[in-house]
Amino acid sequence: MIEKRAQHLTDRLRYIEDIFAGRHAEEIESLDTSLSEFFQNLADGTMDDPMAELTRLETLFAEAERRLDADLTPMDRVRIVRHPQRICLRDILENVYDNFTEIGGQEEHSTDPGMIIARATITRRRGKKKYNQLIMVIGQEKGHGEEFRNGGSVKPWGNAKARHFMGVAETENIPIHTYVFTPGAFPIEDYPGAAQQIARNLYEMAGLSVPVVTVFSEGGSGGAEAIALSDKRLMLSHGYYSVISPEGAAAIEGRLKPGQRATPELVASCAEKLHMTAEDNLNFGYVDRIVPEPYLGARPFHYDFFRTLRQEIIRATDETIVSVRRFGFMRKIALRRLARENMDEMYLRWSLSDSGREKLVAKRQKKFLKLSRGACNDKRPALNRLRRFCAETWQSLSAQIKYTLYTRHQQQLSNFFEETASFLTFLKNRMLYPLTRKPVKPRMKPEAVRALTTLSEWDGGERKSRWVYVSPRAREDRAISCPNAATHGCLDLWAPDLYGEFAGVCTSCGHHFPMEYQWFMNNVFDLGSVHEFNAEVEAINPLNFPGLSEALEKARAQTGLASSCVTFEASLEETKLIVAMLVGSFRGGTVGAAEGLKFVEAAELAEKKSYPFLAYVHGTAGIRIQEGTHGVIQMPRCTVAVRRYIEAGGLYVVIYDTNSYAGPVASFLGSSPYQYAIRSSNIGFAGPSVIRETTGIAVPPFYHSAYKALARGHIQGVWDRREARSNLHQLLMTAGGRNIYYR
C-alpha cells in the first residue's frame, strides 16, 4: 500500500516536471528531495510512522500543485493535454457513463484506433424509479501513450466512421456526446481524403436532428471541427482549442524551411498569441461553458472530476432538449432549475418529436451563423444596410411568388397545352398527308452554293483578343518556359501570347500557368454584369497578433481589396448567380471573420434571390491562423450557411483555381456536391512540406494536382481555363436545383 501511494507521488512529480519543461525548477527540486528522502528513510527503516509521513508528502504535493496551477502558461496547457497521464476518452467512458460498449473497432483492430465510438448509458433516478438513457459517444482517443492511437490524429476513414455512426444515432433518435482529444487531423489525401471527409462530417452535423454535446480537451483545428459542430460546446478548463498547433504557427511565423525546428520560445510565444485557452474561447463565445478541472489538469485518479463532468454533460444535454421542447414558459423554469439540480436525481426524456428535431437543427444553425460577427470591421453604413435589407426582403418575396406559385402553375398549364398541341398537329399531319404530299425540291441560297462551289477566302480583319481581361504580364517583352519543357518538349512562349491570347495555357502540353483572379471575373461572366456587394466589410486583427495589422494594410494597398473574399452578383449567358470569390493574392486567400461573414451573407442572398451560388476559389492557403479561433469557427459557420442554402433547393458550385488547401477545403468548399478545378489547381488538406513534417511520409510531385484530386474522387471534373465559361454554363443548365431560377 505504501509503495503504491509512493509510486503515485513519483508519477505526479514526473508529470509536473514534464508540463513545466524546466520552469519552476526550484520548487520541483524541493519536491523531488522530499520524495527521495522518504524513499531513503523507508529503505533504511528509520521512519516511525511511514503512513503519516506519506500523508504529509501528499499534502505537500497538493499544495505545490495548487500554487503551480496559478502560473500555467498556454504552452503548459498544451503540454498538459498531450501528456500520457492526461485523462483520455476511455477513462471518461469508464467513469462518466454507467455502461458502455465500444463499436466500430476494438483497440488496434479498427479502421482507425484514433477514433472510438461507443454506445453508452447513463442511469438517472426519479424517486425510486430508474431510467437508462442511451447515448452515442464519439471521440478521438489518445490513449495513455499507446502508439497505435496515433496521438488522436484521426485518419480520413476514422472521421468517415464517426460520420456513419452519427447517422446511426440520428436514426435511433438518441443524443450524441463528442469528445475532442486531437492535435489535428492526419493530413493525407487517400480516399476519402482528410479535407473532403472533414467537410462531409461538418455538413452532416450542420443538419443532424439529434442533440449533440461536445467536450473539448485538445481541439486542434480541422481534426477537432470534424466532430464539434454541436448544440452545446463544453471545454475542459486546462484544454486548448486553436486554429493550428503552436508548433505549426511557429513554423509559419518563423518562416522555417523543411527540416528546421522552431525554438521553444517561439512556440510558447505563438501559444500565447493564439488565445487558445478555455477562458479565451468562452469570452469569444465559441464554447458555452468551462468544466473545471483539478489543479494541473485532470488525470485518471481524479474521480471528483469525472463526477463534475458527468453532471455537466447531462445538464448540457438536458438544456439542449428543453430549449426545443414546446411550452416556452415551462422551458425557462426548467432551464433555471437545471442549473442547480443534481442531474442524477431528475429525469428528462432525451428523444425528440419531429417538430423538436426541426427546431433543434434550426437553433444550432442560427447559433453558428451568429458567431464571430464582431471579429471584423463591418463598415457598411446603417442606412445602406437597412436599404439593402428592404431590397433583399422584397427580392426574396418576389422570388418566392415568382418561382414557387406562378412558375409552378404556369409550368403545369404550359406542359398541358404543349402536349395537346403536339398531339393535334401530329393528328392533322397524318390525316392530310395523302392530300398535301408533294415532291420535295432542294432549295439552296446562292451564298451557300457559292461557299460550297468556290475556294474559301481570307476573311482579313485585325487580330482580336478573345478575352476581355488580359493579364498585365502580357505587357512584358520576354519568353516564358513551360515547366514541362524537359519532358514534353514544349517550346518557349512569348509572354504577350501566353498571358494574352493563350490565357496562360501552354499550347504544347496544356500546362496552366496561374492567372490573376480578374481573369476569371472578367472573362467568364457576361460583360458588365458583375456588381460587387459587401465590399465595405474589412478584415482586421481581432487578437492583436503582432505583425498582422501591418500585413493586412500591405495587402489592402497591393490589391485594393478589404478582405480576401469578394462577393458579387453576376450573370452568365443571362443566368444570374451569386459569387463568393477567395482571392489568393490577398494574404494567400486566407479566411478569417470578415471573409466568413461575406461568404455567409452571399449564401443567404443567393437563397433569398433563388440564384445559383458559385464559390470561385482563386486561391486559399486555409484559415487565417493569426485570427485564432475567430478564424477556425468559420469552418462550421460557413458550412451551416452552405447547408441551409442547399436544403432550400440551391445549386452550390465550387471552382478551384491555383492552390486551395486546409480549412476552407475541409469545410464549406468541400461540402459542395459540384466541385470542379481549373487545370492549374492544387487541392488538398495540407501542403507537401506539412505532410512530410507531420507524418514523416514524403509525397511525390503533383500529389495535390487537379487530376490527382479527380482520380481520388474529391472533385467532379477538371476544366481547361479557356473553356471555363462554357463549362460553367453547361453545368448551370444541367445541374440546376429545384425551385431555383437558373435558366
Partner 1 sequence: MQEISQLLDAMKASPYEEVIVRAPHTGQVHFTAPAVGSKVSGASGEWKELPGTPIATLIRENNPKIIAAPQTGELRHVHIELDGKFVEAGTVLAEIRHFLSREEVISRLLRHALSLFNAPERAKYFFTPIVDAKVKSSGCRSVTVQHGMELFIMSRMKREMPVYYTGPTGIIYSVYFSHNENVDAGSPLIGVCPADQVAGVEDMVLRVQTEWKERE
Q: Which of residues 78-137 bind partner 1 (CB under 8 A)?
A: none
Helices 50-69, 2-20: axis angle to 10 degrees equals 20
Rounded Cα distance, 722 and 678, in Å: 9
Closer by beta carbon to partner 1, 349 or else 478: 478
Q: Which 3 state secondary structure label does DSSP give 559?
A: helix
Site string for partner 1, 488-517 (x = CB under 8 A): ----x-x-----------------------
How many Cα atoms within 13 Å fall on the side-chain side of residue 332?
Answer: 2
Identify whether the C-beta of residue 97 lies closer than 8 Å to the C-beta of residue 136.
no
Question: Does the footprint of partner 1 cover residue 391 (CB under 8 A)?
Answer: no
Closer by beta carbon to partner 1, 386 or else 698: 698
CB-based burial label for 369 (10 Å; 0-12, 13-18, 19+): buried
**Among residues 164, 478, 488, 554, which is the contact residue for partner 1, using CB under 8 A?**
478
CB of 680 to partner 1, least distance (A): 19
CB of 510 to partner 1, least distance (A): 20
Closer by beta carbon to partner 1, 466 or else 478: 478
Q: Which 3 state secondary structure label does DSSP give 341?
A: coil
Site string for partner 1, 696-725 (x = CB under 8 A): --x-xx------------------------
Closer by beta carbon to partner 1, 27 or else 476: 476
Closer by beta carbon to partner 1, 344 or else 501: 501
CB of 692 to partner 1, least distance (A): 11
Closer by beta carbon to partner 1, 222 or else 500: 500
Identify whether the C-beta of residue 680 lies closer than 8 Å to the C-beta of residue 505.
no
Question: Does the footprint of partner 1 cover residue 480 (CB under 8 A)?
Answer: yes
Q: Give bridge partners of residue 115 from the DSSP assignment.
A: 140
Closer by beta carbon to partner 1, 171 or else 487: 487
**Among residues 2, 62, 401, 479, which is the contact residue for partner 1, using CB under 8 A?**
479
Rounded Cα distance, 40 and 43, in Å: 5
Task: Name the grid cell of 583.
Answer: 482571392
Q: Which of residues 138-177 bind partner 1 (CB under 8 A)?
A: none
CB of 155 to partner 1, least distance (A): 22
CB of 489 to partner 1, least distance (A): 11
Closer by beta carbon to partner 1, 127 or else 701: 701
Torsion-angle region of 323 (φ positive above 0: left; ψ -120 to 50: alpha; else: beta)? alpha
Residues in contact with partner 1, counted by CB under 8 A, come to a total of: 11
Identify whether the C-beta of residue 666 lies closer than 8 Å to the C-beta of residue 188.
no
Identify whether the C-beta of residue 569 lies closer than 8 Å to the C-beta of residue 606.
no
- Strands 575-582 and 613-617 turn out to be parallel
Tell me the Cα Rg of the chain.
31
Rounded Cα distance, 5 and 567, in Å: 63
Where are the extended beta strands (E) located within 441-541? 479-480, 493-494, 531-533, 537-538
Q: Which of residues 662-701 bind partner 1 (CB under 8 A)?
A: 698, 700-701
- What is the H or E stretch that residue 719 is in? strand 717-719
CB of 490 to partner 1, least distance (A): 13
CB of 507 to partner 1, least distance (A): 16
Rounded Cα distance, 629 and 372, in Å: 9
Q: Give bridge partners of residue 661 from the DSSP assignment.
A: 684
CB of 478 to partner 1, least distance (A): 3
220-257: b or e for each residue (b if 16 or more CB lie within 10 Å)? bbbbbbbbbbbbbbbbbbbbbbbbbbbbbbbbebeebe
Region binding partner 1 by CB under 8 A among candidate stretches 11-19, 366-374, 477-485, 719-727: 477-485
Region binding partner 1 by CB under 8 A among candidate stretches 147-155, 400-408, 443-451, 475-483: 475-483
Q: What are phi and psi of 334, to 5 degrees?
A: -60, -45
Q: Which residue has the cell 463565445?
A: 285
CB of 485 to partner 1, least distance (A): 9
Site string for partner 1, 220-259 (x = CB under 8 A): ----------------------------------------
CB of 709 to partner 1, least distance (A): 19
Identify whether the C-beta of residue 503 lies closer than 8 Å to the C-beta of residue 516.
no
Q: Which residue has the cell 452519427?
A: 166
DSSP 615: E
Identify whether the C-beta of residue 559 lies closer than 8 Å to the C-beta of residue 521.
no
CB of 492 to partner 1, least distance (A): 6
Closer by beta carbon to partner 1, 38 or else 499: 499
Sequence-ordered alpha helix ranges (H) in 45-88? 50-69, 74-82
Amino acid in position 705 = S
Closer by beta carbon to partner 1, 459 or else 477: 477
Region binding partner 1 by CB under 8 A among candidate stretches 27-35, 110-118, 476-484, 591-599: 476-484
**Among residues 26, 44, 447, 477, which is the contact residue for partner 1, using CB under 8 A?**
477
Q: Which 3 state secondary structure label does DSSP give 237?
A: strand
The CA distances from residue 156 to 194, 222, 422, 667, in Å, are 5, 11, 54, 14
CB-based burial label for 80 (10 Å; 0-12, 13-18, 19+): buried
Long-range contacts of 386-394 (CB under 8 A, 24+ apart): 388/533, 392/605, 392/608, 392/609, 393/608
CB of 467 to partner 1, least distance (A): 23
CB of 191 to partner 1, least distance (A): 21
Question: Does the footprint of partner 1 cover residue 260 (CB under 8 A)?
Answer: no
**Among residues 481, 544, 549, 558, which is the contact residue for partner 1, using CB under 8 A?**
481
Closer by beta carbon to partner 1, 406 or else 707: 707
CB of 493 to partner 1, least distance (A): 9
Q: C-alpha angle 648/654/657, rounded to 5°?
A: 165
In 3D space, the residue among 717, 679, 696 whose CA is nearest the CA of residue 258 turns out to be 696
Closer by beta carbon to partner 1, 483 or else 673: 483
CB of 495 to partner 1, least distance (A): 8
Rounded Cα distance, 512 and 524, in Å: 16
CB of 260 to partner 1, least distance (A): 17
Q: Give bridge partners of residue 576 from the DSSP assignment.
A: 571
Site string for partner 1, 426-465 (x = CB under 8 A): ----------------------------------------
Closer by beta carbon to partner 1, 359 or else 473: 473
Helices 354-370, 634-647: axis angle to 10 degrees equals 130
Closer by beta carbon to partner 1, 476 or else 720: 476
CB of 519 to partner 1, least distance (A): 22
Closer by beta carbon to partner 1, 541 or else 659: 659
In 3D space, the residue among 517, 509, 80, 505 whose CA is nearest the CA of residue 296 turns out to be 80
Region binding partner 1 by CB under 8 A among candidate stretches 158-166, 168-176, 473-481, 724-732: 473-481
Question: Does the footprint of partner 1 cover residue 476 (CB under 8 A)?
Answer: yes
Closer by beta carbon to partner 1, 102 or else 476: 476
Closer by beta carbon to partner 1, 252 or else 485: 485
CB of 483 to partner 1, least distance (A): 11
Closer by beta carbon to partner 1, 262 or else 498: 498
Rounded Cα distance, 62 and 57, in Å: 9
- Interface residues toward partner 1, by CB under 8 A: 476-481, 492, 494, 698, 700-701
